[in-house]
Each structure stands twice: as structure tokens, then as C-alpha cells.
Amino acid sequence: MLIQSTRNPTVKLVRSLLTKKGRRETGLHLIEGERLVAEAVSSGAEIDSLFVEEGREPVYCPNGSVYQVTRHVLESMTDTDNPQSVCAAVKTPDIKLPDEYPEGLIVALDCVQDPGNMGTIIRTADAMGAAGLLLSSGCADPFGPKVLRSTMGSIYHLPIWQGELAAELVKLKSEDFRLICGHLAGNEILPDPGRRCVLIIGNEGNGVSDAVAALCDKYRLPMFGRA
């Protein structure tokens, strides 16, 4: 099916995914580009609908509806100046807090608000083999378009949970997880994280909140320059 109008109801729904309200109401998020779509498919994410620019080769999609769209329509559906030839609406996974946390390294974010920073952290956590990411309620939306682009597909490789961070850290501490955060008053000798560890990363401007820092072992990276 070829969609040629930006007023098409399906196009309007996809365009709403550029807003947090639209993502929350539909339970979907929007990804752009063949690489992200391929990562979503190979990781078992549920594709609701796939959109391919008219005249382009079809992209493998084992589930969901597939549409061809004109270039004008494709440009109206994304938030980039020069969008790639494919985008998809994907079902957002459940990010509710787990009953029990998996063993290993958990990366926790305390009010990280810059989408690019969050995406880079998610990608780095994936590269480190983290068991999951725990987000405070004040963090940027992990399924916003800018975050998703920055993750380069890592968003689909590990679980993400979101909730009241301090309360969850108390729970994790009771389960013998070691809580570690960066702090100006911290020790310069970095620890062996062990098999159960939570690494907390703070807000870009304010760092880790006092309530969270009070629960953690504090460390800082030694600085030899003037940065």
C-alpha cells in the first residue's frame, strides 16, 4: 500500500510518537534507519508498522504492517532534517520495576536529562555487558527519538526499569548489591565491583542527589589536567 498524504490516520499516529504523550498513549515508539530497524527485529522487538520510502528496497519485517510512503510523507513522520528511507513504529517494552534484580552490573541513572547522554550511557552499558539499567523518574524518556538514535540499537539488548531510585537502591542494598557513585568527596582508589554492583550516574549539572549519595560508596576519578 502506498501512502501519499500526510493526513493519513496512520501517518498522524506515527507523527504523534515524536511526543512523550503520544508514546505513552499508544505504547509505541518510533525508530528510523535500516540499522535500528534491523536491531529491533533481530532482538525480538515487536514491530507494529514499517514504512519504506517509495522506490526503495523492502526491509525484512517478520511481523507488523508494511507501507510504502512518498518522500514528502516520510519527512513529515520523523524529526530529522534528512530522514533515512525507512522508519518503524515499535511496541515499547514494559519498564516496570522487577520483583527481583538479576545478578551482575546494574547501571542506575539519577535524573540524567540529556537524550544524547542517556543514549551513550545505554550503549556503553550494553558494551560492558550490564545486566540492566535502572532509571529515576526524573530521567529523559529512554524511548524518545534522540535517545534511540544515540543507542544505535543497544536499547533492545538489555532490560530497562524506571521508578523511585532511592527506594530501589535500598532494596538492592538489602540484596547484597554494592552501590557505587562518583562524588567529589570520594576515594580515588576504585574498587573491585564484584558480582553484584550498581553504578549510579548523576545529573549533568547537579551530579548524584544527596539522598542517593548517602546510600553509596563514593569514588572519584583522579584529575591530572585542568578540565
pLDDT in tens, the chain (227 residues): 899 999 999 999 999 999 999 999 999 999 999 999 999 999 999 999 999 999 998 788 888 999 999 999 999 999 998 999 999 999 999 989 999 999 999 999 999 999 999 999 999 999 999 999 999 999 999 999 999 999 999 999 999 999 999 999 999 999 999 999 988 777 777 777 778 999 999 999 999 999 999 999 888 887 788 77
Q: E-assigned strands of the chain?
A: 2-3, 28-32, 47-53, 65-69, 86-91, 104-109, 132-136, 160-163, 178-187, 196-201, 217-219
pLDDT of 1: 82
Domains of the chain from N-terminus onward: 2-91 (3.30.1330.30), 104-219 (3.40.1280.10)
Which pLDDT value is given to residue 207?
92
